[in-house]
Chains A and B, each alone.
Chain A
Amino acid sequence: MKKLKTLTRTGVLSGLTILAMSSTAMAQTVVDFYYPIQVGGPLATVIEGYVAQFEAANPDINVVPVYSGNYQDTTTKALTAAKSGNPPAVAVLLATDIFTLIDEDVIEPIDNLFAADDQAWVDGFMPAYLASAIVDEHLWAVPFQRSTAVLYWNKDAFKEAGLDPEKYPTTWDEMVAYGKAVTTKDEAGNAKRWGVGIPGNPGSAQWLFTALAAQNGARLMNDAGTEVYLTDPTVIEALEFWRDLSTVEGIHPPGIQEWGTTPSDFLEGRIAMIWTTTGNLTNIRTNATFDFGVAPYPGHPNSASALGGGNLYVFKDASDEQKAAALKFIKFLTSDEIQADWSIHTGYVAPRDGAWETEALKAYVAEVPAADVARKQISTSVPEFSTYENARTTKALNDAIAAALTGGKTPEQALTDAQAEIERILRPYN
């Protein structure tokens, strides 16, 4: 019994100590910062370095960085925390989550926190990036780690097939023609090397299909995130083209091409041209045993791409001090120097023109010209497929793409079904 008393006493005492310690920290504003890691490399260390740098300049703010898994895990964690009344002050979440977050009523428009001179800072972002952060004339997020997908091509395979290794395809027709030239088969008629690979698994399909449709001059949804246009002839034509690469032209592997194995397919020489993110550049540069190039997407007739990646969001239920501190931290993270550094570490495409003017990024582009391809593609990029109830509508679109690519339905039938299902899902928002 005596032992128990001592135990309780120590318990109470240590509890008091913790309270005392936290009250000394109370002088600082604590900013919880949730972030995901989606590409390779020791990025947690890089983020922590930025936080330390920011805290040194702002001793009254204590940023607590919390690594939260991939994008979906981070969204799940942030939403769960917000619903239980204890949200992070700031988080990096998918740009496409914007409608979900508005609908759940958990984020604060950034312009509500502005001081007088902040509009000039916003104007420094490239307009293509801001497009996916503005809804109902409010700015709900700040571009942070944005990526775009590009075409990687195997120059040695081109040379072998008698093509000019420096000339990449600029139109769909050229891509098919080059693809046919580089596709090789063994005696049994099995393909040894395919012409082109476009990942079509859930999670990637909607991103690459947004780009394919844009190349055909089509839009998948409206800016308000309440309507989709999947039965538009130009959209159906884009899906038919994707399916025909395999079934008619015979230059694309059958079935669904996996996002995860696509870089290795390219490195093994199994596919001569792949569509994948700029985030894979470092991996492919390190491991390629052949000469390769990076090109903007082809077009029909005009090149276009879709922007992916994450934005910085501020949560509504944080205190006013925390929101002010969060905005300060966001401005620091999106400053030209930090964005240039982040771009070099990750392959993400810096969203401010000023970042590309820094010495560091200029030197990097001189060394790796491929990094500049993505930047040039930004002006012709459209926002990724995104609506209210985004996870559900994206699944409907991805199921349709999978059904068309695997021959379960015709592209027209698959997209008609998806359009009907998405209209049903979006009915409460119209």
Chain B
Amino acid sequence: MCLNHNELAQNPSHFEDSEEANQAPAHRDIAWNDYKDLIKGMRFFDPHIHMVSRTTDDYQAMNQAGIVALIEPAFWVGQPRTGLSTFKDYYSSLVGWERFRSSQFGIKHYCTMGLNSREANNEPLAEQVMEILPLYIYKEGVVGVGEIGFDDQTPAEEKYYRLQLELAKEAKLPVQIHTPHRDKKKGTERSMAIALEHGIDPSWVIVDHNNEETVKSVLDQGFYAAFTIYPFTKMGNERMVKVVEQYGPERIMINSAADWGISDPLAIPKTAALMKMRGIPDETIRLVTYQNAIDAFGQSGQIDVTDFESGYAVDQTEKFHGNSILRGGQQPAPVKDFLVIN
């Protein structure tokens, strides 16, 4: 399998003379066994992923692929919530059970807390959420206020976006901005303008879900530009490689935003492998898949890299509130070496 597309292109073998054969595999064509050697020894930080929607298999695969830490932003769970209690339970799970579950698969879990833009449109409920939000944003391991910003770009969304920017300012926390799927360019510009209007230092703001149309303005204004490698709807990772080739690694970070949709929790390692194939330097890959996210969200004072930089120790016999991830009678991993599975 071709390890370096550029090298091959310069020196094709007899068997690889067609244009098609010279193409590096696309995101969806490369399997773990094909790319694991390319990213061997690399470690990754996914600054945006919704693990509450993901399975144990995902955690195991992420850990195997070198993801040592992640950030789970508070978001929309897919259907409208009927009351404050479900918000409380959801927020509590982000700092509680989900963080514990993640630790059991060797991945350090952080989160950002916020009222999602889509949910800002239910104003009576939004008001109640805003009352309890301060009790969550100061919790340990909360590395930012997010993901907030615009969805439909309604006045209610703007109102709660502004209120949450003020909360972030007071709590001295970075802000993670969700940019809208529709009318993205305008929504992104508006989000940044409002953040600046509130006197927030752009280097404390991570603008998410960028694309080729938005990246220049975001970087030029001093914000962090995050890219979501999400099949079909957001960035593809071949496009991502080109963005990095064009703009370099400064203030750029990559995430998967994997959630309940058709998404890929291995988007970062896969993109790293693709970057490696395309000859992007290791240090650039390290910055956009690991370090920049830590620099940006680490401004919260809540990220201690010694917790994960040398791997993350797992003890699956540990318990959370007396509960283990292990279902009745299961043995802690690893069990693969044994013939008899108890």
Q: Does A pair with B?
A: no
Q: Which residues does B use to contact A, with CB under 8 Å? A: none
